[in-house]
Amino acid sequence: MRSSSAGPPLSPAIGLLVLALAVLPAAASGQPATGGLLTRAEATDFVETSSYDDILTFLAALNSASPELHVGAFGYSYEGRRLPLVIWGAPTPTAEAVRASGKTRVLVMANIHAGEVEGKDASLQLLREISRGGHAAWRDSLVLLVAPIYNADGNERIRLDNRPFQLGPIGGMGQRPNAQGLDLNRDYMKLESPEARSLVRLFAEFDPHVVIDLHATNGTHHGYHLTYSPPLNPGTDPAIVEFARGRWLPAVTAELEPDWSTWHYGNLPRDEGIEAGEGWYTFSAQPRFGNNYAGLRNRFGLLSEAYAYLPFEDRIEVTRRFVESLLDFAAAHAGEIRRRTGDADARDLTGIELPVRAEYDCGPEVEILMGEVEALRHPYTGETMLRRLPLQRPESMADCAAFRGIETSRVPAAWLIPPGLEPAIELLTAHGIRWHALSEPLAMDGEAFTIRGSSRAEREFQGHRERTLEGHWEPATATLPAGTVVVPSAQPLGRLAFYLLDPRSDDGLVAWNVLDEALEGVSSYPILRSAALPHARAGSR
Ligand SMILES: [Zn+2]
């Protein structure tokens, strides 16, 4: 078992800082990247983490050392920073070339929460290894897309106290939200940040089969070095969940033992803020979280959570090793990963029941490794930091790392959106959901949702008070006017369209107040559904 006895870099490494300032510009000025090219974390003995400019400089140096690493961008932050994207394994760095490669496409994204910086520095190390010929075998079956600094604006708002109790970097870290104050890992469905819209465009254009999202957790004091999660929404295609949960993650856990202990992300109920019996509880099934969102797009969304009370250097290392192990498995099973995402895309959902909200699905007891921490003082603020002690105490408890639906709704052949609901259409389009507009009026036998109750959450969340509708679907005949938008469920994003459009969904258009105006004073949900696809069409998107 790996211990954390090395300890954090508590003494100010002033000498090393001076050295780092000497090394970084030299390495960045186009000289060979082999030898001497250090991340800012490495160059400061893990006292500091990379700034946005450090990353651009580092990537430019890698790019000049290895022409196979293409450095570009996939969009913009709120403050106009270009969001870097590195592409490896495709002849040219375009979305068309990446898709045409026929290989399995993997996106590694870091720093969505810009205080959780280990993924950013780990992804730089990984790219440096690749630039020096490391992991060459992956190239046969994988295209790698790396977004090392997704929340670029948050990264630049460094403070020493942005992550209370986290064990470094003691030179500070960025903030959790973006410059708008939005948590980007709650923005996947409503898409209110330019960062999330940039990322979803990347999803639509490059269509990664696998999305690995790198974080750190400061929850329950457990005994693991890193915890993880597959897609958690119970409406996710079984071809995705079975493989991720049943084969991929167990293989990685086995491979990383005994050096690194990994298991499903979880907390004790008191730390998760829920009233429940003793058990190991994961976070949420809602697709506002990235791993769940990728799952509803029929892709492998995999969450990584390094333990915040490991020294920063160890967090970087366990994160890099976890990603390498995931990629080794992806390379060895590249064909199966593509087949499963393809099967999920082709699944006919019409007429099946899918969940619109979920509750924990606790299985039989499992052995969870609990741990302990000791308190240290931050050398510059005097605040308490916690350090993981190298001990693990197995405890048996209910395994609550999955969800089941507590309410379902039937997937129609199509949803029918009347003219005038532009914000809804705009959001569906931003997600990449396909639709077409009726060119002439059309009579339809379908269903309408009768509203019995409409309420908003007491507590504000991400600038919203989420809405919940009560009611039921019943048969309805209508003449749909020209311009009605038809959203067929028979498309790769059918599950995502369902979760956005069903009136009872806990993470859709209704929940995020997109339809508030249209719902004022009406007794029926404005969007209809139909068991058969209407035909007259024009203006396809
Ligand atoms: Zn996080």
- Could you tell me the two tokens for 222? 């457990």
Cα of 196 from ligand 1 centre, angstroms: 15
Cα of 113 from ligand 1 centre, angstroms: 5
Q: What is the pTM of this model?
A: 0.93
Cα of 219 from ligand 1 centre, angstroms: 11
User: What pLDDT was estimated at residue 31?
Assistant: 35
329 Rama class: left (phi>0) / alpha (psi -120 to 50) / beta: alpha
276 burial type by CB count under 10 A (0-12 exposed, 13-18 middle, 19+ buried): middle
User: What pLDDT was estimated at residue 21?
Assistant: 34
Pairing of strands 300-307, 210-217: parallel
User: What pLDDT was estimated at residue 12?
Assistant: 35
Cα of 213 from ligand 1 centre, angstroms: 9
Cα of 136 from ligand 1 centre, angstroms: 30
Cα of 114 from ligand 1 centre, angstroms: 8
- Could you tell me the two tokens for 118? 């280990």
Cα of 61 from ligand 1 centre, angstroms: 29
Cα of 111 from ligand 1 centre, angstroms: 8
Cα of 218 from ligand 1 centre, angstroms: 9
Give, to the nearest 10 degrees, the angle between helix 249-256 and helix 312-332: 130
Cα of 217 from ligand 1 centre, angstroms: 7
Closest CA to 192 of 288, 115, 123: 288
User: What pLDDT was estimated at residue 274?
Assistant: 82
Cα of 79 from ligand 1 centre, angstroms: 21
Cα of 134 from ligand 1 centre, angstroms: 28
Q: How far apart are CA 178 and CA 176, in angstroms?
A: 7
Cα of 207 from ligand 1 centre, angstroms: 23
Question: What pLDDT, in 10s, does the model give residues 428-485?
Answer: 999 999 999 999 999 999 999 999 999 999 999 999 999 999 999 999 999 999 999 9
Cα of 110 from ligand 1 centre, angstroms: 10
Q: CA-CA distances (angstroms) from residue 460 to 126, 456, 463, 465, 512?
A: 40, 9, 6, 5, 11
Cα of 388 from ligand 1 centre, angstroms: 19
User: What pLDDT was estimated at residue 321?
Assistant: 98
Question: What pLDDT, in 10s, does the model give residues 479-490?
Answer: 999 999 999 999
Low-confidence ranges of the chain (pLDDT < 70): 1-35, 535-541
